[in-house]
A and B are shown apart, each in its own frame.
Chain A
Amino acid sequence: MVTWNPYTPGYFDDPYPHLKECRETNPVQKGIHGEWILLRHKHVRQVLKSDQFDASNLSNYFASKEKIIFDQNACPFLARGTRQWIMYLNGAEHITTSNLAGLALRRIDFTALIEEAIAVCLPGFRNIASFNLVDLASVIPFYLSKKMVGFGEHVTYEKLRNFSYKLAVSQDLFLSKKDYREVNAEFEWGFGEFEKMLAPGAARQDQTLAALLPEIDRPSASPLAADDMHSLLSMLFMASFETTKDALSIILTELIKRPSLMEYVIGADERQIKVLTEELLRVACPLQYTVRVCREDLELDGTFLPAGTKLFLGLASANRDEEVFEQPDEILPGRGDNPQVAFGGGVHACLGARIARLEVRTWLKPLCRFLVDYQVASNEKPQWQRTIFMRGLRQLTIVRK
């Protein structure tokens, strides 16, 4: 019986051997904080699709912890900053806010923006003999996410990248008070920026969330208060940039190791690209876990779970479950039936899934045409983020052949 422990040696470099052992010997297990960890596809999918579970409310968690994290004179932004993060809302509040964000996103021409992002960013790498693959995987979604939200030119890449990373990390496990204070500082900065962007009379580009969100009526709900609007914008930027950067960094790491797969992409038709995109998202799965809470007492695979029990759903583990996927650790470009759960599922399925799929489908060919002339630098091993809920690459130097 293997106990799930993300600090198992080697986990951050490659979590899949440990997840496989857990899945095979102890697929429904209790964690050290009393939560239950589900690692099989059938259980993860069952919970995702069911309406018997709520999302775990991050903002309420922060509200209960702010006294511990901060001294009396601090100005806490953690609960305020996450109050409108759609993935942690439930019931009517979830429906209202996700509808608002969904309407705003549908008014943006992502087809054009996705093509523009790669057309603008890729030429910058053409004359470089050696670079960090993460930079390539970052600048393209960064260009898109910055334009989507409507940040001004004065906001730098480094600043926004740090803002996004810290916000993403705020959802992770085993953070110290110091970590949370750093997240708080980023929220404070972000709220200041959003306040300036949304101020009456401030110049706002059309087709940006900063322009669109305040214009959309919310049926049967009052307009979002300023803090709530800042919280929603923070989440939309972080979710758009961070998950795409992480997914792309993992996908490009897999591709650069497989020149024949890059050739396949270059020669693939539209349908083949669609099928391969699902397969790459299955393997990449940047959001490795998501959390649900039992609304009522229930039994799952012979385990009694009282109301209020927290469940960690192992999305990445489910995507490698050999009961569902043949050769789960291999990338099979033509994998037909692919019930991958990288975007979660049910009422809390990822709001940006359509956009993320379009990004990967659009960017795959131009990236492969470019990367086919590169290889991993000799003796270079990928360095991974030390994060549990999100998986992303930190560094992989590639060189021109």
Chain B
Amino acid sequence: MTKQNVSHWLKTKIADEAGINEQEISESASFETFQLDSLDMVSLSHELENFTGKTIEPTVFWEYNSIEKLSEWVTKNES
């Protein structure tokens, strides 16, 4: 899985959860910018786990708090 795959997946999901256009989402902006509830982030971590097939603890959304950082961590951690 590439970094682009993960960041595209995150963009689509965040756009859906936050009710905004994908084009409005900056990959370097922190997740807090999108007014996501902590429950949304925990739910996304479970979905990301299913998408990538690897263990994703919910805390990674706070540790790697942007699409850029998180997709990089997911793919680096995979190799």
Contact B39 A176 (CB under 8 A): yes
Give min CB distance, A205 to chain B, whole Å: 40
Q: Mark B23-59, 1 if CB is under 8 A from A, else 0.
A: 0000000000000011110110110000000000111
Chain B proximity of A33: nearest CB distance (Å)? 6
Complex contact B59–A65 (CB within 8 A): no
**Chain A residues closer than 8 Å to B39, beta-carbon distance:** 65, 68-69, 175-177, 180
Q: Are B40 and A68 in contact (CB under 8 A)?
A: yes
CA–CA, A269 and B58, complex, Å: 48
User: Considering only CB atoms and an 8 Å cut-off, how many residues of chain B contact the other chain?
Assistant: 12
Q: How many A-B residue pairs have CB under 8 A?
A: 30
Expressed in whole angstroms, the minimum distance between the Cβ of A153 and any Cβ of chain B is 37
Interface of B is mostly: helix
Q: Which of chain A's residues 1-59 have a Cβ closer than 8 Å to chain B?
A: 5, 7, 32-33
**If the complex has contacts A176-B43, A177-B43, are A32 and B62 also in contact, measured as CB distance less than 8 A?**
yes
Closest to B57 in A: A7
Q: Which residues of B contact A33 (CB under 8 A)?
A: 38
Q: Tell whether, in the assembled complex, residue B59 and residue A176 are in contact, meaning their CB atoms are under 8 Å apart.
A: no
The interface of chain B, by Cβ under 8 A from chain A, is: 37-40, 42-43, 45-46, 57-59, 62
User: Footprint of B on A, CB under 8 Å?
Assistant: 5, 7, 32-33, 65, 68-69, 174-178, 180
24 contacts between A and B (CB under 8 A): A5-B59, A7-B58, A32-B59, A32-B62, A33-B38, A65-B37, A65-B39, A68-B37, A69-B39, A174-B42, A174-B45, A174-B58, A174-B59, A175-B39, A175-B42, A176-B39, A176-B42, A176-B43, A176-B45, A176-B46, A177-B39, A177-B40, A177-B43, A178-B46
